[in-house]
Amino acid sequence: MSGWKFDLTPVEVPKISTPYRRIVTRLPVPESLPLLETLDQYESIAMHGQLPVIWDRAEGFQVHDAWGNTWIDFTSTIFVTNAGHGNPRIVEALREQASKPLLHSYTFPTKVRADYIQYLVQSTPAQFEKAFLLSAGTEATECALKLIRMYGYKNGKRRPGIVSFEGNWHGRTLGAQMLSHNPAQKEWIGYLDPNIYHLPFPYPWRAEAVRSPRAYFRKAMDALLRERQLSAQADLCGFLLETFQGWGAVLYPPEFVQEVEVFARENGILLAFDEMQSGFGRMGKLFGYMHYGVEPDVLCCGKGASSSVPLSIVLGSRKIMDLPPIGSMSSTHSANPLACAAGLANLQALLQDGLIDNSRVLGELFHARLNEIKSDFSDQIAYVLGRGLLAALHFVDANGTPLVDVANRVCQEAMRRGLLVVHTGRETIKLAPPLCINEDAMIEGLKVLSDSIQAAIR
Ligand SMILES: Cc1ncc(COP(=O)(O)O)c(C=O)c1O
């Protein structure tokens, strides 16, 4: 996030009334400002600078404030509400659980926990035999770090090496920050884990990576082993890949990931994916890694796992998941009954109500239309990346200069026109409608996006 702040001066905007959007006040809404001031006064500054839209209700793919305005949502609150805001199955499951009532159980088993874990594991590929539930995504990536290292030691590794990738991001707690690449975000730690390595990412703007993804990986891997004097067999326990780079929806070339897998298998190294943003149907398949034609050993999920309350998951084989002995992997809110109820209803909605198919089918139209927008603004947009109902527009001019200000303004212009998009603080904006969106609303949202870009570059 940059230090950009959205303009808090209410401005007159054209009134809008369509079946999907409604704008009837000045924006930001003047009456909402005291609430924003309260948050600014009492909350860490780290939380400031968000789009000044005070959410009151959110249903399906729409967000409503308390003053009569309605937005089409292209954020899913940043990849969480895949099954739709307030999905009726999830609301009903939470209501039922709350009215029992059974809100917490921690060290005691529950039926809803057994129902959910069984359905989850049985709905995922065969190598995932067990799951462990947590609350935050960062806990899941830290848990994967621990499991991968334990597995490595158990199998005779002499060092706990983990390989991640340049530009990847895995959460905000200490281990997750070590795994993430961003050096500035790690300054507060004061030291770096010497057994975590980051290899170059095969960005589509790196000609060598595009020409020969497999050789690009092998060359970088060979250099790492040589420079650090490592043996892959003895010193590396696992790879952790963010399925796509969050800030810009940047996927790997499939051959690159396939080569990582070949190398991992050759050297007894585990392959793990961070599916926080890519999982649970977002990319038109249950998990995003499925686009790469590989079979990971460990999966870290969160966000879209519940479309609502805090829930994160680590999935793996029995031999990995059973490494920590009884009582040594726990968390107070692990398998909370509300989280299990929501997780179960969410997965049923995704699998049984055609939402993943919708993401795949509408995703193609989404990207076709976004590429037309890219052609319309070819001086400002260099890339449209992503897959399914996930996309990022990269605002970069012909000289390769990032147009961060344009991206910031597009978010603000879209908000004034009844559309919410993901502000990254970089030269990108990200788009991720709830997977229940219909074609009409999606096309309307894309038209608003195009108008917003036009206004932002004016
Ligand atoms: C790829 C990725 N990994 C991990 C995390 C951390 O998840 P959480 O914020 O739930 O801790 C995020 C959050 O944005 C993420 O995008």
Task: Quote the ligand 1 centre to 69 CA distance (angstroms).
Answer: 30
Shortest-distance atom of ligand 1 to CA 171: 6
Distance 171 CA to ligand 1 centre (A): 5
Nearest to 383 by CA among 443, 429, 442: 429
Q: What is the pLDDT of residues 14-70, one digit of tens each?
A: 999 999 999 999 999 999 999 999 999 999 999 988 999 999 999 999 999 999 999
Place 3 in a pLDDT band, splitting at 50, 70 and 90: low
d(CA 143, ligand 1 centre) in Å: 13
Q: Is the pLDDT reported for residue 2 higher than 60?
A: no
Q: Which atom of ligand 1 is nearest to the CA of 275?
A: 1
Residue 433 vs residue 2, higher pLDDT: 433
Q: Give the ligand 1 atom nearest the CA of 78.
A: 14
* pLDDT tens by residue, 227-276: 999 999 999 999 999 999 999 999 999 999 999 999 999 999 999 999 99
Residues with CB under 6 A from ligand 1: 136-138, 141, 169-171, 242, 246, 274, 276-277, 302
Shortest-distance Cα residue to atom 10 of ligand 1: 137
Instruction: Provide the mean pLDDT of the chain.
Output: 97
The pLDDT > 90 percentage for the chain reads 98
Q: Whose CA is nearest to atom 7 of ligand 1?
A: 137
320-350: per-residue pLDDT in tens?
999 999 999 999 999 999 999 999 999 999 9
**Which of ligand 1's atoms lies nearest the C-alpha of 302?**
10
∠ Cα 75 76 80 (to 5°): 130
Residue 4 has pLDDT above 80, yes or no: no
Q: For 144-170, how does the pLDDT look when each residue is reduced to its tens digit (9 = 90+)?
A: 999 999 999 999 999 999 999 999 999
pTM over 0.75? The answer is: yes
Q: What is the arithmetic mean of pLDDT over 123-139? A: 98
Average pLDDT of span 390-400 = 97
Q: Is pLDDT of 316 > 70?
A: yes
Q: Per-residue pLDDT for 111 more than 80?
A: yes
